[in-house]
């Protein structure tokens, strides 16, 4: 089972990314866990300075950019990450 983490500070972009990820998972009936991380110390463990970011199986896949639903689905299915 894949583990998805949405990293951010609660801003509009972070909320949009979290919503898109949730929609993709629900619409495609994917078996994944989704975790929202807003704690700066936990975010810093990923060695990134720009948020929001998306991590799949603890690998940063996007940062600062909001991928489309199609891009998110591709990342979840094929492990082809943008970052």
pLDDT digits (tens, 9 = 90+) for 31-78: 999 999 999 999 999 999 899 999 999 999 999 889 999 999 999 988
Distance (Å, rounded) from C-alpha 13 to C-alpha 74? 20
Distance (Å, rounded) from C-alpha 49 to C-alpha 3? 21
Q: What is the CA radius of gyration of the chain?
A: 11
CATH architecture under which domain 2-78 falls: 3-Layer(aba) Sandwich (3.40)
Where does the pLDDT of residue 80 fall: very low under 50, low under 70, confident under 90, or very high at 90 and above?
low
Q: pTM value?
A: 0.89
Domain boundaries, the chain: 2-78
| Amino acid 77: pLDDT | 87
| CA angle centred on 60, ends 58 and 65, rounded to 5° | 145
Nearest one of 44, 45, 49, 59 to 3, comparing CA atoms:
59
Q: How far apart are the first and last CA of the chain?
A: 21
């Amino acid at each position: 089972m894949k583990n998805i983490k949405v990293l951010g500070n609660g801003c509009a972009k972070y909320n949009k990314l979290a919503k898109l990820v949730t929609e993709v998972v629900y619409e495609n009936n994917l078996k994944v866990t989704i975790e929202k991380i807003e704690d700066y110390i936990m975010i810093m463990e990923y060695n990134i300075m720009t948020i929001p970011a998306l991590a799949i199986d603890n690998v940063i896949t996007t940062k600062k950019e909001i991928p489309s639903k199609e891009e998110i689905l591709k990342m979840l299915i094929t492990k082809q990450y943008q970052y």
